[in-house]
Each structure stands twice: as structure tokens, then as C-alpha cells.
Amino acid sequence: MGHGEDKSMLEPAETYEQMISRFKWQIPERFNIAQAVCTRWALEAPDAPAIIEHMVDGPVRTTSFSELEAMSNRFANLLVNSGIGRGDRVALLLPQARETAAAHVAIYKIGAIAVPLAMLFGVEAVQYRLQNSGAKALIMSTASRENVSEILPGLDALQVVFCIDGKLDIAPHIHDESRSLPATFETVDTTPDDAALMIYTSGTTGPPKGALHGHRVLLGHIPGIQFAHEFFPQPGDLMWTPSDWAWAGGLLNVLLPSLYFRVPVLAYKYTKFDPANAWDLMALHKVRNVFIPPTALKLMRASTPNDVDKLTLRTIFSGGEAVGSALQEWAEDSLGMKINEVYGQTECNLVLESCNAIGVGKKGAIGKAVPGHTVAIVDDAGNSLPDGEAGNIAVQRPDPVMFLEYWGKPEATRDKYAGDWLLTGDQGFRDADGYFHFVGRDDDVITSSGYRIGPGEIEDCLSRHPSVKLAAVIGVPDPVRTEIVKAFVVLNDGFEATDAIHTEIRDHVRNRLSAHEYPREIEFRDELPLTTTGKVIRRLLRNEPSSN
């Protein structure tokens, strides 16, 4: 059998219109993620590689589907023996590793709910999520010992803790505990709507909310993966992302859909993203498909190697924030390929995309609606707006990629919808050609002198200046203009924060965009606050005390 032939939802087509007209969701009455990403391949292709780990201080370690299946079955037996069952939350505070994949599969097998947590979360972030989810089990690594030790006494719901890479005073080694258990396990029977995983998302207001997803969420991602990776999978495909597998971008854009299609996933444990290392990894392992967020691509652009011809990249998929035309031009000039921009959010992912292979791509636009998803621009009441008019980017329900609810927050769940439209919280418009354009998040949009200004375009323009390595733009209060544009800039090596460079950067934007969009304030920084996946956290910049 060829790679995932029976599981493709997007048939190759010559035009976008053909693809849309042929598309049909294939959602079976019974579905479990574990069976789809692991068990069936352990039977059909037991020796096929599932996870290829580039060890930081050792040889490359390849785990086959049969090995992943056996490990996940032992973990599943261990969890059940520990009193964990259907509907219980199991938190995963883990790096990219084969045990992380096996733990996810084990949790789905027993009908529990995976709660992935990012490795770089601080003590309070981990504590809040463990408490809020009521997690009964935690699977961690030795790297998080200090943080977890500090909060364990206050976690009443937590019953068991396991560690994947050693024995700790607070957690036994998961392999020691599971080694003697059976390598077989009968996966519980689940429907596509049964809860499978919960990813916390930072909302525009209040503490993070747990976006609860059913097993169907994996199927909901399949058309988006096939579209932006240009008829994925193709023979020889191999997937990698620097993004933490705890984030929707790492777990649902990369790990689970790749395994679903029997495409191996490269794993590497970053403590901090290293652009030069990223180039080396891709060349060494002949990576064909990547998901790399725009900020990480900007860092990589600054260290583009001379021997890019050593790369075997087939597709570059990027999103989470606007890609911008400067990055697109760099990819075309330096790599000879186009970036397929994707759009979505934890609650409803991969709904707008580009697929340059069939001509869906336009500079400055995200792309078009992915087959299977109905996306529109609506007002706050859910009424569709005409092309060219800015409003809420919204997705119509029902949709298999859509979340089930916010954990324990029925009101917030209701507020997410206007009628049958899920409001993403992002502003955008659709043009006459059907392309969607991102203006900004509701809380990132800058209102200045009556203009609504999205920070993405200004950041894109700033990044074109030879001195600028990274830039973030926010609105700061102004008595005359409501808000003015302020830019935070990290300079490239060899440039100094002088008055002359300040003026040059300011005029660069004024001359390229418009007089109302140039940054009236520029603050130079050594670094910017980034999420674990390399997105600038504008909210933290906005919340800083004013330097005026």
C-alpha cells in the first residue's frame, strides 16, 4: 500500500475550484486517534520509521511503528493500573521525543484526555493548567524537576507522576514502571466527538482557557495538511518543526497528521531555537516538509547558508502570525520556493491557506478557505460582510476541526460564536478574488487618527531594513491620535542603536507604507518576548509600564 492512500481526503486537482467541488468529509462513526496514527501502521508496516530523534549528545535514534505501538501499550497499561481512565486528564510536560508520541497514543487508547504543556512554561503557567484541568496524572522529563517539585504539594487532583528520562525523587522512571507490563492493549471504543485532548490558549482577556477537542480534530486537520503541503504525502516525505509538540502547531500541524500518513517525524530537543542548527538539521536528515513560524524563519533568514542546494525541502508551511511579503521574497530568492501560509487557531485550526502548487497564493494575503471549511468575514452579530470590508474572520459550524468547548467555561464557549459562526478574534477582509487578508487580532489592532492599523504589515516592512533582525509593533496611548505606533526592534549584528539608525528605520516605514503607519516611537532591545514557538508576545510589550 502506498503512503496513506486510503486516508487522503484531498484528491490532486489542477484547480482550486475542482478541489472544492470534489471534496467530501470522511468522518467515520467510530474513530480513535491512537488507532489511526499508530496501531494500523504497526500491523501494516511494522518496521516503517515513525520518530527519528536527533539526540543532542548521542546517535540518531529511530523508532518504528511497531516499537511505538509496544511502548504506547505498556504506557497505557501503566496508566490504567494507576487508576487513570476514560475522561481523566493526563498532562504532558515533555520535549520532542519518542516517549512524547507514545504517551499521546497511550492516553488516546485509554479514552483519557491529553493536556500538553510547553517545556518553557514557568512555574505559575504549569501550576495554573494542572489545577484548572484537574489533571490526575503528569508525565514529565528531568528538565522540569525544579518547577514541578515546587507546585506538587498544592495539586490535590494529581495522583501519579512519571518521568521519561530517569528516576526522580518526585517521579519514577516510566520505562522502569512499564517494562514488565504487556505490550498489548485493546483501545477503548470512541466516537469522533469523544474528548481526546485539551490545549490551553491565551485569550484576549483573562487567564488561559482549555480548548477541548474530540478525536475528530485530527481528521479536521487532514485537508489543511494535504493542501499546504501540496498533496501530502509524497514518496520520501519527512516532516520537522522547531515548534514544541505541546502547541497546536507542533502536535496537530506536524506530529499527529504525519504519523496518520505514515510519514516519519524528525524530533530534536531545543532549549532555545538555534537558526544555524535548524539549517544543519534539515540538510543532514533530508527533511522534505517543515512547519516553521514566521519569527523563526526571520531568524533563519539572517543566517541563510551558502549551500542551500544541500537541502531537499519540498514544502514550507508557516503561520501563527502573518508571513509577510519580505519573507516570501527571501524564500523565493534564496531557497527557490514559496512559503505556503496557513491560518487558524487552537480552537479551529488550518482553515485558510495557500497552496502554490495549484496557484493559490497571493503576496500579502493568507490564502483561501481550505476545502471542507466555510470561512467568511462577518460583523459582530454574524452577518456576512461584502468583499473588501474588514470584519471578523469567522468559521461556520459544524466543522470537524472545531473545538468542543472551553474547559469549565460555558459562557466563554457561547461568547465564541455569533449564531453558527465561530469568531476567531482576528480582523481581516476578503478581496474580490476570494483571498483572505489578515488585519490583526482584535486586541493587536492599533487605532490611530481614525485609522485601524494592523501591526503585521509594519513589522513586515521593518524587517526589510538591513539593520533589523526582529521587530514587534504595538499601539501606545496618545492624547491626540488615540494611539501611536511604537516599534520594538532587535538589530542585526554589526549595527548599533544610534539616532541615525533610528531616523533611518522610521523613514524606511514612512516611505514604504504611509505617514500614519510609521513608528513614532522606536525602542531598541537585545531580545523580544517570544512564545515557545517563536511568536512575538505583543501583549507583554503592551503591558509594560510606559517609558515616557
pLDDT in tens, 426-481: 999 999 999 999 987 777 878 787 676 878 878 988 998 999 999 999 999 887 77
548, pLDDT greater than 60: no
The count of other CB atoms within 10 Å of the CB of residue 416 is 22
Tell me what pLDDT residue 533 has.
67
183, pLDDT greater than 90: yes
> Of 436, 365, 352, 355, which is closest to residue 13 (Cα–Cα)?
355
2 inside domain: no
| Burial bucket for residue 516 (CB in 10 Å: 0-12, 13-18, 19+) | middle
Tell me what pLDDT residue 198 has.
98
Cis omega before residue 545 (within 30°)? no
The count of other CB atoms within 10 Å of the CB of residue 35 is 18
CATH of the domain at 142: 3.40.50.12780
532 inside domain: yes
End position of a domain, from candidates 212, 235, 255: 212
192 inside domain: yes
Q: DSSP letter at 147? A: H
**What does the alpha-carbon distance between residue 157 and residue 140 come to, in Å, rounded to a whole number?**
16
**pLDDT band, very low/low/confident/very high, at 111 (cuts 50, 70, 90):** very high
What is the domain range of residue 142? 28-212
**What does the alpha-carbon distance between residue 344 and residue 281 come to, in Å, rounded to a whole number?**
27
**pLDDT band, very low/low/confident/very high, at 532 (cuts 50, 70, 90):** low
pLDDT in tens, 207-265: 789 999 999 999 999 999 999 999 999 999 999 999 999 999 999 999 999 999 999 99
269, pLDDT greater than 50: yes
End position of a domain, from candidates 212, 240, 271: 212
Amino acid at 198: M
The count of other CB atoms within 10 Å of the CB of residue 204 is 10
Helix (H, G, I), strand (E, B) or coil at 373: coil
Cis omega before residue 233 (within 30°)? yes
End position of a domain, from candidates 212, 246, 268: 212
339 inside domain: no
**pLDDT band, very low/low/confident/very high, at 546 (cuts 50, 70, 90):** low
Phi, psi of 504 (to 5 degrees): -65, -45
386 inside domain: no
CATH of the domain at 519: 3.30.300.30
pLDDT in tens, 364-375: 899 999 999 999
462 inside domain: yes
Task: For residues 316-338, give the mean pLDDT.
Answer: 92
Please count the structural domains in the chain: 2
Task: For residues 515-522, give the mean pLDDT.
Answer: 88
CA distances from 38 to 50, 64, 519 (A): 9, 10, 51
Sheet (strand 89-93) strand order? 160-163, 137-140, 89-93, 113-117, 195-201, 209-214, 405-406
pLDDT in tens, 149-180: 999 999 999 999 999 999 999 999 999 999 99
Give 459's contacts (C-beta < 8 A, 6+ positions apart). 322, 324, 471, 472, 473, 487, 536
295, pLDDT greater than 70: yes
**What does the alpha-carbon distance between residue 465 and residue 435 come to, in Å, rounded to a whole number?**
27
100 inside domain: yes
**What does the alpha-carbon distance between residue 61 and residue 53 come to, in Å, rounded to a whole number?**
5
262 inside domain: no
